[in-house]
Structure 1
């Protein structure tokens, strides 16, 4: 007899897609955000379980998001938003790369590559969204780390997955940046 696991990932996926649909509506960039949410959820689950953000998911996630944003730019004549998204992807990549090189024990290269994807998506919304998303990701990671230290579930040298905090911070920033399609 096999154990039946609760459908947590499925329920989170359904809720996440519903919220994204309410935020972006039937806009040309909705497919990119749904793609990003699906890839982000998969990356978060893997990072929580394995402490790894695999290239075999990061690369298709980034390419898919870029293609969908190019399509959105073409449909909505939003070429400045696309340029800003590409610049933000590069900027986020470089910032986290420098941090990873300065403190290799603190950040992995998967986190650096994830930052490029986050920069791409948040850059589409604007520079304030990029800054807010990164800030919230770092803040959330700090709060989680401090909480785990307080309840003695982690020590000062415990490695915590950073991807889920970055992804959640980016999601919150995306939801807070701009108006909602429904509401």
Structure 2
């Protein structure tokens, strides 16, 4: 594969990552509360699209970076995460139409992971559009001659992964959030596009990563068996790893 698509994907990751911090901050509120409309210092955020896209910095605050993740550090972290994920997918997937779908999903996944880490929540305002948008775009990709995947199998993958998470939620609601259930079909679409081994690998890796991190936190006494952990980031990382490992 030529280096240009990889560079373009990395640049897209950096640019999109630079636009994410404000949205990640505004969405990171407990369930039932309105989206954050003010910076941690109490100043109102801009109206319209400017209120959602861009770095989470307030020019009216004396020390913009003094409010935890609200500041330049968040910009660098999100931009780096998006750039690495996009470049890795470009290397592995190649110049095929489904790559565009994955590159659009990366910034969305980064925001979802960030919000879940902060407030244990995967907002419907992101999970529902992610599913329907991914299903539609993969359907369009399947019409192009250079695609390497199966749209019907992607739909069945979404159904299968969604069913697994729903079943786990019904068995143990305290151990599985319903936001995870709503995110699962989108990940099933991406995994199912490449085949059932990829579906199994991505799903398994999500649970394996969660188990390893949980045991590590318990071993270092930073958590107990009853300490809740956000599972969305593990689901997203498992899916990304499976896509990168797909032949």
Other structure's SS at 2:240 match = helix
Which of the numbers 153, 175, 182 marks the counterpart of 2:244?
Answer: 175
- Contact 1:122–1:129 (CA under 8 A) maintained in structure 2: yes
- Aligned-residue RMSD, C-alpha: 1.5
Match runs of 1:9-28 below 5 Å: 9-28=78-97
Which of the numbers 117, 128, 146 marks the counterpart of 1:59?
Answer: 128
Distance 2:145 2:199 in 1: 21
Name the counterpart of 1:5: 72
Q: Give me the TM-score of the superposition, normalised by structure 2.
A: 0.69
Rg larger for: 2
Name the counterpart of 2:109: 40
Runs of 4+ displaced beyond 4 Å: 77-80
- Contact 2:89–2:243 (CA under 8 A) maintained in structure 1: no
Which of the numbers 152, 159, 169 marks the counterpart of 1:100?
Answer: 169
Deviation, 1:77, is 7.7
Higher relative contact order (CA 8 A, sep 6+): 1
Q: Give me the TM-score of the superposition, normalised by structure 1.
A: 0.93
Match runs of 1:23-172 below 5 Å: 23-76=92-145, 81-172=150-241
Unaligned runs of 5+ in 2: 1-61, 66-70
Other structure's SS at 2:174 match = coil
Deviation, 1:5, is 3.0
